[in-house]
Amino acid sequence: MRICIDPGHAGRLTDPGAVSPFTGVRESDVVLSMALMVQRYLQAVGYEVMLTRTQDEQSETDDLSYRTNLSNSWRADLFVSLHCNSAGSSSAQGYEIWTSPGQTQGDILATKIFNQVADEFPDRVGRTDYTDGDPDKESRFYVLMYTDAPACLVETAFISNEEEGQLLANPAWQDRYARAIARGITDYVGGLSI
């Protein structure tokens, strides 16, 4: 089983993604840290895991097609992109999982991850769209449209919210989140427990 994990943003130091106005923590750093944790959990149960970037300075990752081509040429079985959300209002909070429009394998993957995150964090808000019968939201995000593998994008929490921004900066919380995502992936594949 080959899993491609995509820590969003970075590429150039000029794209930190969203930045917490409270702590200064950067989305690009949080999601890289979490991606490395997801990788460790999945490798421990025998999956092959590739990250689309392993550092901040990979300039080629500025081009999203680099990330999707990497996943496709590696023939990944699953693709999961990690992000932190941000809003003008500091009261916005919660997690979202996105897929491309329509019912695909990505929707099944997204639901498995959503359920594990909801189980791990009953105190956090799941921001859902059940109009198509499942909790994920749908959009034509580039990395969801151009990956061959079933794909989803996790907006882990709002870095622009004071409480969630502090949680996102906490390695122990990151690790719980990473384990929940890894469990969602193994639930999708079927079998192995983490």
The DSSP output letter for 19 is B
Residue from 7, 11, 17, 106 binding Zn ion (CB under 5 A)? 17
- Distance between CA atoms of residues 178 and 187, nearest Å: 14
Q: Is 193 exposed, middle or buried (0-12, 13-18, 19+ CB in 10 A)?
A: exposed
**Secondary structure in 3-state letters for 87-143:** CCCCCCCCEEEEECCCCCHHHHHHHHHHHHHHHHCCCCCECCCHHHCCCCEECCCHH
* Site stretch for Zn ion (CB under 5 A), options 5-13, 123-131, 159-167, 176-184: 5-13
**Is position 183 an interface residue for Zn ion (rule: CB under 5 A)?**
no
Smallest distance, Å, CB 18 to Zn ion?
6
Q: Which of residues 69-128 bind Zn ion (CB under 5 A)?
A: 83
**Is position 8 an interface residue for Zn ion (rule: CB under 5 A)?**
yes
* Site stretch for Zn ion (CB under 5 A), options 9-17, 50-58, 103-111, 141-149: 9-17
Smallest distance, Å, CB 191 to Zn ion?
31
| Contact set with Zn ion (CB under 5 A) | 8, 17, 83
